[in-house]
Structure 1
Amino acid sequence: MEGESQRNLSDSRRNISKKDQERSASRLERLASHMAAVPLVREAQLARQECAKVKIKHQVHVSTLVEFLTQGHQSEQEKVYRFFLERPHLQTPVEIHKDKHRELCMRQLTAVVREAGIRPMDLLLNDPASYFVFTEAIGHIDLSLAIKLGVQFSLWGGSVINLGTKKHRDKYLAGISNLDYPGCFAMTELHHGSNVQALQTTATFDRLTDEFVINTPDEGATKWWIGNAAVHGKFATVFARLKLPSPDSHLDKDMGVHAFIVPIRSMEDHSVLPGVEIRDCGYKVGLNGVDNGALRFSNVRIPRDNLLNRFGDVSRDGEYNSSLPTVNKRFAATLGELVGGRVGLAYGSVGVLKASVTIAIRYALLRQQFGPPNKPEISILDYQSHQQRLMPLLASTYGFHFATQYLVNRYAEMKVTHDDEVVADVHALSAGLKAYITSYTAKALSTCREACGGHGYAAVNRFGSLRNDHDIFQTFEGDNTVLLQQVAADLLKQYKEKFQGGALSVTWNYLRESMGTYLNQTNPVVTHREGHGHLRDPNFQLDAFQYRTARLLHTAALRLRKHSQRLGSFGAWNRCLNHLLTLAESHIESVILAKFIEAVNRCPDKDVRSLLKLVCDLYALDRIWEDIGTYRNQDYVAPNKAKAIHRLVEYLSYEVRGVAKELVDGFGVPDFVLRAPIGLQNGQYSEYMQYVGF
C-alpha cells in the first residue's frame, strides 16, 4: 500500500510538473513572440500627419515587376496597345450611341484580325495563355470589344472546335478565324439560363430528308441575350433537345441537349433566313457595343451534318450512337468543353480590377486634403481610412492575378492531355474563381469610385463605364450563386471520396489531412501567438485558411446528413445553402492564397520577391481579419491574437501605401490605354482641364 501511495504521489507530481511546463512554455512562447516581433504601428509615434512624411520603401524596378507578372507576354500586350495608339479612329469615345458603338466594335475586331495580323482563334487553339493575355489587353481598350471577340472565337469558334469533329473544323474554322463567318452562341433561353439541361428548343430528326428541324416551341424557349445576333451574326451554335422519332410510340425520344450549327443570315446579302426571327435586345446597362439579340425558329431545316457530334451522333437511318452511355454524362462532357468562357471572364475581371485600382490609387496619391495646422495639406492616401479602403484591394488584385494565371495553365494542360482529373479540376476551379473574382471586382469598382469622390463620378474617369460593362460578368457563363454551389458540390464529393479511399484532385489535396490535422483540438500555444514572425509566416496564414475550409466542409456534411433524413436531398441542400456558399468562397480564398504564396517563392528577383511577400501578407491577414468571428468562435485565434492581426493589417496597409505607385505601375497599363485623366502617371489635372475645355 505504501509503495502504491508513493507511485500515485509520484504520478501526481509528474502531472503537476507537466502542466507547469506547459504553462511555462506558453508564457515563454508569448514573451519570445513579443520580443522578436517588429514593433507594431506605435500609435503615439505614427500619427496620421507623420504618414505623409515617413514612407517605407522597397527597392524594386517596375520593369522587373512587370516582367514577372506578364511571364514573357509583355510584348504581346504592347503590340495591342501600339496598334490602337496608332489608330485614333478606332478608339472608343467617352460618349457614343449604341448603334455607332456596335459598328465601331465590329471595325475594331476586323482591324485586329485583318490589319494587326493577330489570329485569336489560332492562339486559343495553340497557346491559350497568350490568348487570355491578349483578351485582357483588348479589354483595356474596350470591354465591349473583348466580349464581342470572346463570342466570336471562344464561344462560337470554341463550340465548333470542341463539340464538333474534323468535318466541322474543315468546313468552318478558316471562316471563323478570318471573320468571314461571324457567329453566335445560342444557349440561354428566356426561361432558362443556368439550368441548361432544361432548355426547350427542339431539333427533331427527319429521316425522309436527312435533316434536323429546329423549332422554338413557346415564348419561354426564345434564345435571349445572344451576342452578335442582333446585327452581325450569320451563324449560331444552337443548343436544343435532340428528338428522334420512336417506332414504338407517337412521342419522339428525347436524347438530351446537343449543339447544332444553324445559319441565321444569308451569306450573300445578310438578310435573315426563312423561319428565323431576330429581335434586338436593345440598350443594356453596359456593353452596348455588343449586339445582343433574341432568336426564334420555326421549322428551320439544317443538314444532319450540322449536329456537332463529338459526344453523340445520329446515323442516316436515325440511329443514335455515343461513346458516353447516359444523357447526364454527355451533358457533363459538353459543358466541360466550354469552360474556356469562364476562364476568360475570371481573367478579364482581374484586368478590370487592375484598371480601377490603378485609377483610384494614382488619384489618391495626387489629391491632397487637410493636414496638420499651419502645414501643407497631405495626400488622401496618407489617411489610415483611405489606406484601409484601397490597399487590401490592391493586395487582392495581385492574389487574383496569380490565381488566374494558374487557372490558365491548368486549362492549357487540360486541352493537351484531356486528363479526366484535370478536366474536373478546371471545371470546378473556373466556376469558383469566376464567381468569386467577378463578385469581388463588382464591389471593388464602387469602392474605387467612392474613393475618388466627385471626380470618380465623371464619365471621362471611367468608373461608370467599367462598372456598367463589368456588372454582367457576375451572370455571364453561369450565375455566380449557381457556380459557387457547383464548387460546394465538388468539395462534398471530394470529402466523400476521401473516406472511400479515392484520390483527391490536385487543387483539393489539402483536404487529405483536413479531417485529422485541421479538426483536432487547436494548440493553445499557437492560438495565443501574436508576434510578427508568426503572423507573417505563410504556413500559419495558409493553415488558417484551410482550417476554416475544412471546418466548414465537415459541418456542412453533418448538416446535410441530418436534414436530408427529414427534408430529402434537395430540401437539405436548400436549408444549408448559405453555409455551402460560404464553404465555396472559403475554399477559393484558400486556393488564391496558395497560388500567391507559390508565386512569391518562385520569384527570382529578391527585391520583387520581398515586395510581393509584403502584399501577400496583407492579403492573407486582411481576409483572416474580415472573418475573425469564425476563427474566434472556433477558438482558433485568441482575443490578444485577433487584436494583433487587426493592428498588423493596419500597419501593412500603411507599408504597402509606401509602394502603391510601383505596385500599380507593375500592371503595365499605359496612360493612353487607361485614359482616365485622374488616373494618369502624371499631369492628371492638366489632362482633366483640357477635357472640359480650359
Structure 2
Amino acid sequence: MALAVEEQSLAIRAMAAADEISQRRLDRIASHLRATSLMKDEQLAAEVCAAAAKVSKRPVSVSVLTHLMAGGYPEDRQKVLDFFLKRPDLETPVEITKEQHRELAYKQLLAIVREAGVNPMKYLMEDPGQYFALLEAVGYIDMSLAIKLGVQFSLWGGSVVNLGTQKHRDKYLEGISTLRYPGCFAMTELHHGSNVQGIQTTATFDCMSDEFIINTPSEGATKWWIGNAAVHGKFATVFAQLCLPSPDSHLDTNMGVHAFIVPIRSLEDHAVLPGIEIRDCGYKVGLNGVDNGALRFHDVRIPRDNLLNRFGDVSRDGKYTSILPTINKRFAATLGELVGGRVGLAYGSVGVLKAAATIAIRYSLIRQQFGPPNQPEISILDYQSQQQKLMPLLSCAYAFHFATEYLVEKYGEMKKTHDDEVIADVHALSAGLKAYITSYTARALNTCRESCGGHGYAAVNRFGGLRNDHDIFQTFEGDNTVLLQQVAADLLKQYKAKFEGGALSVTWDYLRNSMGTYLSQTNPVVTHRDGHAHLRDPHFQLDAFQYRTARLLHTAALRLRKHSKRLGSFGAWNRCLNHLLTLAESHIESVILAKFIDAVDGCEDKDTKKVLNLVRDLYALDRIWKDIGTYRNQDYVAPNKAKAIHRLVEWLSFEVRGVAGSLVDGFAIPDSLLRAPIGLQSGQYSEYSHYVGFD
C-alpha cells in the first residue's frame, strides 16, 4: 500500500515536471526581461521613505467601497448611526465612572428600542444578518452598549427563543423585546467556564410542589461575570444540572445541564427576590458600562414550566422525556443553539479592527516627520516600516469583513433550515472565526496604538478604550484556545470520514482532494517559480493555504495515532496540542482567503475590483510570509521564491498605501462616532487642540 502511494506520488511529480518545463523556460526568459523592472521595483521600495510624491494613486470609488462594506443592510445601519448623530446627550464621554457608564449604556439601549424604533429581537429571529449589522453599528457608539444589547437579545432572549418552546415565547418574548424584562445569561461559574458540562449549580425537581429548586451547592458554583445581573436584570436564564429524585435510592438522578428561567428581582420595585444573592463584580479592565454580577441561589423555587424544555422535559409526576437519547447529545444540541453569540463577537471584532485601522491610518497620512535633506517632511505612512505595520492590518480588516459576512449568511441558513450539516458547519466556522479574528484584532490594536506614538496613548484617541473593551472578546463565549481545539477536532473527524467514504460538509470541500494533488505542487519547477503573475494568482495563493492545512491535518492524524498507543487519547491530544492549534488557524485562514477571493470576483466596478485584488494579494502573501518557515520546511517554497514573496509584500504594502485613505473611508464610520481627534477625516490637529482647551 505504502509502495503504491509512493509510486503514485512519483508519477504525479514527473507529470507535473513535464507540464511545467516550458513554463520554467518562459520564466527564465521573462526574468531577464524583467531584470530592469525588478531593479526599479526594489529601488522604488528603497526610495519610499524619501519620495512621498511618488506614492502610487489608483482610481477607486469610496461610494462603491462603502456600499460593499455596508453588507446587505446599509439603511438599517445608517438609521442607527443617524439617530445617535442627532443625540449628543447619548455620547459616551472619555472620563466616566463605572456607575455613570452603566446608567448611560442602559439609557442608550432604551433609546434604541423605544425612541429609534429598532426591534433587535425581531431582527434576530427573522433576519440574523440585519441583527448583526445593527450590532456592528452600535459597537461604534460604545462597545459596552453593544455587549449589553447582545446580552439582552442574543443571550437572554436567544435562550428563551432557541431553548424554550411556544409557551415561553408567548409569556416572555414581548417583554424581552421592549425591555420590560431585562435579563441575564447565567452559565459561567467561578470554577467552570469553558467546561460547561462540569457546572455545579443544581435544579432539583420537587414532585410535591411541581417546582424546581435552584441551589448553589458550593462556592465554586457561584455564577460569575453575569452581564446585566449587578444592576438592571430582572430575570436570568440559569444553566444547572437537572436532578430527579430516584424512588430506589437516596441519590438524585442527574439528567445533565439544562436551562431554567429564574426571576431575580421584583417587577414592581426591582428588589432582589428571596433566596437570591447578587454581588457586583466591580471595575473591569474594560466594558465598565456592562453591569457584571455574581449570583448565588438558596432553595429558590420556580414553576416546572420555567424549564426551557425544547430538548428535554419533566412531567408532573417527575418523568423525564427527550427527543435526544443521551446527555451528551442533549448538551451538544443546547450549546449548538447558542452559537449566535460567537457569530456576533466575530462580526463585532471586525468592527473594532475597522475603527482602529481608520484612526491609525488617517493619522499616519497627516503626521509628517523627517524627510530628505533640504526638503519638506514626509508623511509617516510613506515610511516602509509604517506601511508594513498598517497595510497588512488593513488588508485583514477587508478579509475578515467578507469572511464574517459569509458566516452570518450561513448562520441565517442554519436558523431557517435546521440542516444537520449546516449546523455542524456553522458551529465549527463560528468557533474558528471568533477565535482567529478576536486574537488578531487584539494584537492589531496594540500595533495601531504604537503606530501613532504618544498621541495614540491619549485616551481621547480611543486606542486604550478599544483595546480594553475588546480584550475580553478572546475569552468570553468560549476561550479562543478551546475553540480552536473544537475546529481541529472537527477537521480530524472529517479526515477520518473521508477515508471511510463519508461526506464532508460544505465549507471544507478542499479536503476532498487527495494528498497527491498537493504533492504535485512541490515539484522543483513550481517551488522555484517567483514571477509576479504567479505569486499574485489567487489559485496559487489558495492552493498554498490549503496545501499547508492538508499537510498539517495529515501529520496531526499520524502523530495522534502514534502517541495514543502509549499516552491514551487525552494524553496524545495534549502532546499534539500546539500542532492542532496551528492546524485550526491554518484552516481558518484558508476559509478567509476563499471568501475574499469570492468577494473580489463578485465586485462589478472595474477600478474597485483592481484595488480589492491588490488588497487580497497583500493579505494572502503576507500570511504566507508570516509562516514562511512552514512552507520552506515542507519544500513548498524554494529560497528564491521566499525572497520574491517578501519583496512583493513590501511592494504591495507600498501600493496599498496609495489608496489607504479611500479604503478606510470605505468603512464609512462617521467622525462624530469615531470620536478620535487624530482619526477624523479633516481638521485633526484643530480638533485635538480644541479638546485640550485651546481656542
Paired letter, 2:86: E
Look up the SS of the partner of 1:469 in the other structure: helix
Alpha-carbon distance between aligned partners in 2 of 1:127 and 1:21, rounded to the nearest angstrom: 53
How far 1:679 sits from its partner (Å)? Answer: 0.2
**Which residue in 2 is equivalent to 1:505?**
505
Look up the SS of the partner of 1:372 in the other structure: coil
How far 1:39 sits from its partner (Å)? Answer: 3.7
How far 1:19 sits from its partner (Å)? Answer: 13
Alpha-carbon distance between aligned partners in 2 of 1:18 and 1:195, rounded to the nearest angstrom: 51
| TM score, norm. by length of structure 1 | 0.96
Look up the SS of the partner of 1:241 in the other structure: strand
**Which residue in 2 is equivalent to 1:43?**
42
Superimposed CA distance per residue, residues 426-448 of structure 1 (whole angstroms, 9 cap, x where no aligned partner): 00000000000000000000000
Segments of 5+ residues of structure 2 without an aligned counterpart are 1-13
Change (3 A) 1:41 1:216: farther
Segments of 5+ residues of structure 1 without an aligned counterpart are 1-16
How far 1:44 sits from its partner (Å)? Answer: 3.0
1:30 aligns with 2:27: yes
**Which residue in 2 is equivalent to 1:418?**
418
Preserved contact between residue 21 and residue 525 of structure 2 (Cα < 8 Å): no
Preserved contact between residue 514 and residue 547 of structure 1 (Cα < 8 Å): no
Alpha-carbon distance between aligned partners in 2 of 1:133 and 1:673, rounded to the nearest angstrom: 16
**Which residue in 2 is equivalent to 1:623?**
623
Look up the SS of the partner of 1:262 in the other structure: strand
Matched residue count: 678
Paired letter, 2:189: E
How far 1:514 sits from its partner (Å)? Answer: 4.2
Preserved contact between residue 549 and residue 583 of structure 1 (Cα < 8 Å): yes
Correspondence 1:84-123 to 2 at 5 A: 84-123=84-123
The percentage of aligned residue pairs carrying the same residue is: 77
**Which residue in 1 is equivalent to 2:258?**
258
**Which residue in 2 is equivalent to 1:242?**
242
**Which residue in 1 is equivalent to 2:190?**
190
Correspondence 1:11-410 to 2 at 5 A: 25=22, 27-34=24-31, 39=38, 42-46=41-45, 47-410=47-410
Alpha-carbon distance between aligned partners in 1 of 2:348 and 2:173, rounded to the nearest angstrom: 25
Alpha-carbon distance between aligned partners in 1 of 2:610 and 2:503, rounded to the nearest angstrom: 36
Look up the SS of the partner of 2:213 in the other structure: strand
**Which residue in 2 is equivalent to 1:454?**
454
Preserved contact between residue 33 and residue 529 of structure 1 (Cα < 8 Å): no
**Which residue in 2 is equivalent to 1:603?**
603
Preserved contact between residue 350 and residue 441 of structure 1 (Cα < 8 Å): yes
Paired letter, 2:243: K
How far 1:69 sits from its partner (Å)? Answer: 1.8
How far 1:238 sits from its partner (Å)? Answer: 0.1
Change (3 A) 1:18 1:573: closer
Change (3 A) 1:288 1:49: closer
Alpha-carbon distance between aligned partners in 1 of 2:351 and 2:29, rounded to the nearest angstrom: 43
Preserved contact between residue 201 and residue 214 of structure 1 (Cα < 8 Å): yes
Look up the SS of the partner of 2:205 in the other structure: strand
**Which residue in 2 is equivalent to 1:634?**
634
Paired letter, 1:441: T
How far 1:20 sits from its partner (Å)? Answer: 11
Look up the SS of the partner of 1:550 in the other structure: helix
Paired letter, 1:305: D
Alpha-carbon distance between aligned partners in 2 of 1:232 and 1:159, rounded to the nearest angstrom: 18
Paired letter, 1:28: R
Alpha-carbon distance between aligned partners in 1 of 2:216 and 2:49, rounded to the nearest angstrom: 67
How far 1:523 sits from its partner (Å)? Answer: 2.1
Preserved contact between residue 313 and residue 320 of structure 2 (Cα < 8 Å): yes
Change (3 A) 1:32 1:182: farther
Look up the SS of the partner of 1:43 in the other structure: helix
Preserved contact between residue 202 and residue 240 of structure 1 (Cα < 8 Å): yes
**Which residue in 1 is equivalent to 2:533?**
533
Alpha-carbon distance between aligned partners in 2 of 1:330 and 1:119, rounded to the nearest angstrom: 31
How far 1:18 sits from its partner (Å)? Answer: 11
How far 1:687 sits from its partner (Å)? Answer: 0.1
How far 1:289 sits from its partner (Å)? Answer: 0.2
**Which residue in 1 is equivalent to 2:670?**
670
Alpha-carbon distance between aligned partners in 1 of 2:521 and 2:339, rounded to the nearest angstrom: 40
Look up the SS of the partner of 1:44 in the other structure: helix
How far 1:382 sits from its partner (Å)? Answer: 0.2
| TM score, norm. by length of structure 2 | 0.96
Preserved contact between residue 519 and residue 550 of structure 1 (Cα < 8 Å): no
Look up the SS of the partner of 1:278 in the other structure: strand
Preserved contact between residue 41 and residue 648 of structure 1 (Cα < 8 Å): no
Preserved contact between residue 94 and residue 459 of structure 1 (Cα < 8 Å): yes
How far 1:32 sits from its partner (Å)? Answer: 4.4
Correspondence 1:472-483 to 2 at 5 A: 472-483=472-483
Superimposed CA distance per residue, residues 17-73 of structure 1 (whole angstroms, 9 cap, x where no aligned partner): 999988964640431452676747633344134540112222111011111122342
Superimposed CA distance per residue, residues 371-396 of structure 1 (whole angstroms, 9 cap, x where no aligned partner): 00000000000000000000000001
Preserved contact between residue 519 and residue 551 of structure 1 (Cα < 8 Å): no
How far 1:520 sits from its partner (Å)? Answer: 5.0
Superimposed CA distance per residue, residues 413-461 of structure 1 (whole angstroms, 9 cap, x where no aligned partner): 0000000000000000000000000000000000000000000000000
Alpha-carbon distance between aligned partners in 1 of 2:289 and 2:18, rounded to the nearest angstrom: 70
Preserved contact between residue 359 and residue 678 of structure 2 (Cα < 8 Å): yes
Paired letter, 1:181: Y
Correspondence 1:460-609 to 2 at 5 A: 460-520=460-520, 522-609=522-609
Superimposed CA distance per residue, residues 155-205 of structure 1 (whole angstroms, 9 cap, x where no aligned partner): 000000000000000000000000000000000000000000001000000
Alpha-carbon distance between aligned partners in 2 of 1:23 and 1:253, rounded to the nearest angstrom: 67
Alpha-carbon distance between aligned partners in 2 of 1:390 and 1:368, rounded to the nearest angstrom: 16
1:645 aligns with 2:642: no
